[in-house]
Amino acid sequence: MDGLRAAQVKVEVLTPADLQREEPFLARDLPGGLYFPQDAQVQPMLACAALLKAAKTLGATFLPQTALLSVELDEKGKVRAAVTGAGRIETPRLVNAAGPWSSPLAGLVGLDLPTRPRKGHIIVTEPLPKIVWHKVFEGSYADTVNSGEAALQVASVVEATKSGTILLGSSRQLVGFDPAVDTLVLKAIARRAVRFYPVLAGVQALRAYAGFRSFTPDHLPVIGESKQAPGFFINTGHEGAGIGLGPISAKLLSQLILGQPPALDPVPFRPERFERVGAV
Ligand SMILES: Cc1cc2nc3c(=O)[nH]c(=O)nc-3n(C[C@H](O)[C@H](O)[C@H](O)COP(=O)(O)OP(=O)(O)OC[C@H]3O[C@@H](n4cnc5c(N)ncnc54)[C@H](O)[C@@H]3O)c2cc1C
């Protein structure tokens, strides 16, 4: 609590009665909770579309569905060009922001970046009358995020959307890039959600999906320029918080690229804490 407050995160302690007032459909046997009044929700695809529009207004060019295939380095090992599915682009700077795929892309310049895909499943319920008012997650959620466990871990996250559906999470597994939706994981998520919201027991699931988060061994993002391949910038490893952290991490990266004073201390995020030279 003190750590949160020192970081200017507002937090209030809720008694069982407060919990019932804030979330009337929560299970009645919970001992209390914490409320974060600054917390907010965003629809990630709409946020992405808005950022794309803003960037285009500022002169950015986009090449959708275009893969980076290789990176040309000069005789000093500095970035010279990106070779993409749409041709060669001469540039002294390149940003590897490929999320869970950042490690293979770092391999294009011979860097061994130890990020790994951390799989997560989500269940989307049928549209429902209002039963969830806040984004609610159980206290052990932080433990699952901060663990390095490869096996399945589940901690309940329940949040409603504007359309009335409810999103149920969360699962974490280090099982490579296997995109299959696993019904055993869905059952574990559903069971946990019903523990906190018994009313969900009779609700239909509309769909479920799995995705990958970019996991780093020390649970911090990787933001900055590679020491071993100058001009090759990295912005990845945001795990399950890349939507929330995206704007500040992009701001920090842009300041590092432009040589401006950084908005926050970049040292904990430096790529060289992991960099090992691999085979090009
Ligand atoms: C189940 C689940 C729930 C989550 N919940 C939350 C949440 O509640 N809040 C939150 O903040 N975050 C959440 N996240 C995490 C969030 O989605 C990620 O942190 C975020 O998407 C990372 O953004 P990114 O742009 O770094 O990477 P990504 O969104 O993964 O994008 C990487 C891009 O790189 C592209 N790419 C790959 N290879 C190449 C190549 N060779 N050339 C060109 N492009 C390439 C990919 O196609 C992809 O478009 C969740 C993730 C999952 C899986």
Q: Over its length of 280 residues, how does the chain's per-residue pLDDT go in tens digits?
A: 889 889 999 999 999 999 999 999 999 999 999 999 999 999 999 999 999 999 999 999 999 999 999 999 999 999 999 999 999 999 999 999 999 999 999 999 999 999 999 999 999 999 999 999 999 999 888 888 888 888 999 999 999 999 999 999 999 999 999 999 999 999 999 999 999 999 999 999 999 999 999 999 999 999 999 999 999 999 999 999 999 999 999 999 999 999 999 999 999 999 999 866 554 4
Of the three residues 194, 215, 236, the one that is the final residue of a domain is 215
* Residue 263, domain member (yes or no): yes
240 lines ligand 1 (CB under 6 A): yes
* Residue 184, domain member (yes or no): yes
CA atoms within 13 A on the CB side of 164: 8
CB–CB of 200/194 below 8 Å?
yes
Retrieve residue 63's tokens: 């090449």
In this predicted structure, what is the pLDDT of residue 146? 86
- C-alpha span between 78 and 109 (Å, rounded): 10
Q: Which residues of 161-175 are buried (b: 16+ CB within 10 A; e: fewer)?
A: eeeebbbbbbbbbeb
Nearest to 19 by CA among 138, 126, 123, 124: 138
In this predicted structure, what is the pLDDT of residue 143? 86
Of the three residues 167, 194, 215, the one that is the final residue of a domain is 215
Q: Where are the beta strands (DSSP E) in 109-239?
A: 116-125, 136-137, 153-160, 166-172, 205-215, 222-225, 232-236
Q: Whose CA is nearest to atom 2 of ligand 1?
A: 120
67 lines ligand 1 (CB under 6 A): yes
**Structural domain range at position 73:** 44-60+67-115+218-277
Of the three residues 189, 215, 241, the one that is the final residue of a domain is 215
Residue of 238, 245, 248 with the most ligand 1 atoms within 8 Å of its CB, for mutation: 238
Alpha-carbon distance values, 101 to 149, 161, 192, 229, 275 (Å): 20, 28, 30, 18, 16
Q: What is the dihedral of CA 46, 47, 49, 55, to 10 degrees?
A: 160
* Residue 22, domain member (yes or no): no
Distance between Cα 97 and ligand 1 center (Å): 9
Residue 120 and residue 88 share a domain: no
Residue 95 and residue 56 share a domain: yes
* Residue 10, domain member (yes or no): no
Residue 165 and residue 92 share a domain: no
- C-alpha span between 273 and 256 (Å, rounded): 17
Total domains in the fold of the chain: 2
Distance between Cα 19 and ligand 1 center (Å): 33
* Residue 121, domain member (yes or no): yes
- Confidence (pTM): 0.94
- For residue 38, what is the DSSP state? T
Distance between Cα 100 and ligand 1 center (Å): 7
- C-alpha span between 182 and 190 (Å, rounded): 13
